[in-house]
Homo-oligomer: A and B are copies of this chain.
Amino acid sequence: MTPPQDPARLTPREARALFRAGLVTPTSGWSAGWTQANLIALPRDRAYDFLLFAQRNAQSCPVLDVTEPGDVAASIFDGDLRTDLPAYRVYELGEQVAETTDVTSYWRDDLVCFLLGCSFTFESALIEAGVPVRHIEAGTNVPMYRTNLPCRSAGELWGPTVVTMRPVPAHLVPAAVRVTSRYPAVHGAPIHVGDPALLGITDLDKPDFGDPVEVRQGELPVFWCCGVTSQAAVMRSRPAFAISHAPGSMAITDVRDSAYAVP
């Protein structure tokens, strides 16, 4: 399926219809002005530990919505969570057993879906403020890295903070901080500017998830917390079953990003 000419202008409903029809793409840059979210679906008996992990690591795992067991829509997502994301990963005992565009056949009545804030949400605010977003320009997925920053554990959930990276021209770093700090529910301000080694990242060209991007002369790598943090922690605890979005292929919600902005 051919991607649309200008995905930024699609409504969430239009975007979800394309994904439901089988289009696979990173959603960065899609439906500008609408909130995007990480999805993780877990059996009910794992839900408390997950919600507690999210509370204790709220900058990485800001919870936007939680469904009732078995529900396939959410209060902020008026679609079908089983089909309306571009791609999913399915896990058994923490091991990936499938990557697919439709998880209807895997669905279970005891699954609780968690929708977590995603930094794609503030990218249109960055662009409006004149801060270029390299991976959108390149049409690739944002690069994501495991860091040496440990999360606070909850039950069996623990692991490192995962971050996204965007190269920012030095003189625009203050604007990037200022703009994104207005969006605490979607990771907020960066957690680090400048030196990947201090985060335990040895090679920016080899992200743990997503695609590498060029950091040009005069640019600094800027790092934001990433919802994949929770995914990594959950899989390490080896739940009997789990479903997540594929990295970068987010749930596009029906909530304006301005709804999560603070003054």
> Majority SS of interface residues in chain A?
helix
- CB < 8 Å: which of B56, B63, B66 contacts A66? B56
Contacts A48-B47, A48-B48 given: A262-B184 contact, CB under 8 Å?
Answer: yes
Q: Which residues of chain B come closer than 8 Å to A184, judged between CB atoms?
A: 184, 262
- Closest chain-B Cβ to A41's Cβ sits at a distance in Å of 15
Assess whether A263 is interfacial by the CB under 8 Å rule.
yes
Residues of chain B with a CB closer than 8 A to A47's CB: 48, 52
Report chain B residues within 8 Å CB of A152: 75
Determine the interface band of chain A, counting residues with CB < 8 A from chain B: 10 to 19
Question: Which residues 99-121 in A have Cβ within 8 Å of B in the complex?
Answer: none
Q: B residues within 8 A CB of A238?
A: none
Most buried by B among A55, A75, A152, A184: A55
Least Cβ–Cβ distance between A173 and chain B, in angstroms: 15
Residue of B nearest to A177 (CB): B263
A192 contacts partner chain B, Cβ-Cβ < 8 Å:
no
Q: Is A263 touching B182 in the complex (CB atoms < 8 A)?
A: yes
Q: A178 vs B263: C-alpha distance in the bound complex, in angstroms?
A: 8
Chain B residues with CB under 8 A of A136: none
A103 to chain B, nearest CB (A): 23
Q: Which residues of A contact B (CB under 8 A)?
A: 47-48, 51-52, 55-56, 63, 66, 75, 152, 178, 181-182, 184, 262-263
